Amino acid sequence: MKPACNVATLIGRFFTERLMRQRNVSANTIASYRDTFRLLFMFAQVQLRKPPSALTLTDLDATFIGAFLTDLEVKRGASAKTRNLRLTAIRSFFRFVSFEEPAHSALIQRVLAIPSKRHDKRQVHFLTRPEIEAVLAAPDRTTWLGRRDHTLLLVAAQTGLRLSELTGLDRDAVHLGSGAHVRCVGKGRKERTTPLTTLARCALQAWLKEPLRKGATALFPNVHGARLSADSVQSLLGKHVRVAHKSCPSLKAKSVSPHVLRHSAAMELLQAGVDCSVIALWLGHESVETTQTYLHAHLALKEAALAKLKPYERGKRTRFQPNDRLLAFLEAL
């Protein structure tokens, strides 16, 4: 009989040795994996009536993991995308365990065989130029907070930085001389520079002359001099979008998040005729295929392609007539 294997020991080694020391993953990845296993162990505590430190590997079999994933969707209302994200963390752990505990390979392989769930892939949401301008005009620039918010939103809409990249910017990451740009470290710890328009450069130049808040090093700090959290940026954006509704009614029908500003920057580049490979470099995408999603959302490009097609002649269309019962059945599906 295979000996019981304590999960707490394996989890400790997985985080400290595999993720931190060997792979040197980002803090965001650590946080995401931590949240996954916190949820898993809370679920186990309720279902198995065992404290997390007493769990053994045999407790976490494929049936139990499947029940946990179902619970995420049914009781916690998680989307299929979130469910797959949690499964990715669990698979990473079990791949590590496969080398540490080969005696449990059958259990491990069954967990690794749990498939990801297919889900609808929606078109990206973005703002039009009038909508962007309405949002940028919303902050009250007679106050320190208003000037900060205006500059932050302008940089976000022009550079297309991810939210974590935007809040992670330091004051020394901005270069305002010849070839003005901001420098950030994105996904995969890849450093990249993004050029600034004249408007963004002037706004940042004025913002950097503002008095420092408690020796803050962050480019966009809160009133206490600390970095803005993701929730804070979402909150301030929502506040200014509500103000912008008054001058731009089309915003009422849109859910605007910081990532929508990133999509908007990409669509601005695409509408200006910039090649997808350049947009991929601009946004820090791992592959050009990721950037193709903007082509799918660009209706004007599709309409231009449609205009080049020769229209069908009337009366020339024919419908397929099946000559077999099986073909007729398939045609009716």
CB of 58 closer than 8 Å to CB of 48: no
Q: Residue 114 and residue 111: Cα distance in Å, rounded?
A: 6
Q: Is 315 helix (H, G, I), strand (E, B) or coil?
A: coil
Q: Domain spanning 129-306: which superfamily? A: Intergrase catalytic core (1.10.443.10)
Task: List, in order, residues 6 or more apart from 108 with CB less than 8 Å away.
Answer: 94, 97, 98, 101
Write out the two tokens for 307. Answer: 């205009």
Q: Where are the domains of the chain?
A: 7-113, 129-306
214 is catalytic: no
How long, in residues, is the chain? 333
Q: Is 127 helix (H, G, I), strand (E, B) or coil?
A: coil
285 is catalytic: yes
Q: What is the pLDDT of residue 64?
A: 96
Identified catalytic residue from 83, 240, 263, 294:
294
Identified catalytic residue from 285, 308, 314, 319:
285
Q: Residue 308 and residue 312: Cα distance in Å, rounded?
A: 13
Write out the two tokens for 22. Answer: 């060997």
Which CATH architecture fits 7-113? Orthogonal Bundle (1.10)
187 is catalytic: yes
125 is catalytic: no
Q: What is the pLDDT of residue 215?
A: 80
Going 304 to 305 to 306 to 312, the CA torsion angle's sign is positive
* Low-confidence residues of the chain: pLDDT under 50: 1-2
Q: What angle do CA 271, 123, 119 make, to 5 degrees?
A: 155
Identified catalytic residue from 83, 86, 104, 162:
162
Q: What is the pLDDT of residue 1?
A: 36
Note the pLDDT tens digit of each residue in 150-184.
Answer: 999 999 999 999 999 999 999 999 999 889 999 99
Q: What is the pLDDT of residue 325?
A: 79
Identified catalytic residue from 187, 192, 213, 227:
187
The count of other CB atoms within 10 Å of the CB of residue 110 is: 15
CB of 271 closer than 8 Å to CB of 298: yes
Nearest to 132 by CA among 60, 200, 223: 200
What is the crossing angle of helices 144-159 and 129-137, to 10°?
A: 160
Identified catalytic residue from 86, 240, 262, 263:
262
Nearest to 209 by CA among 249, 176, 232: 176
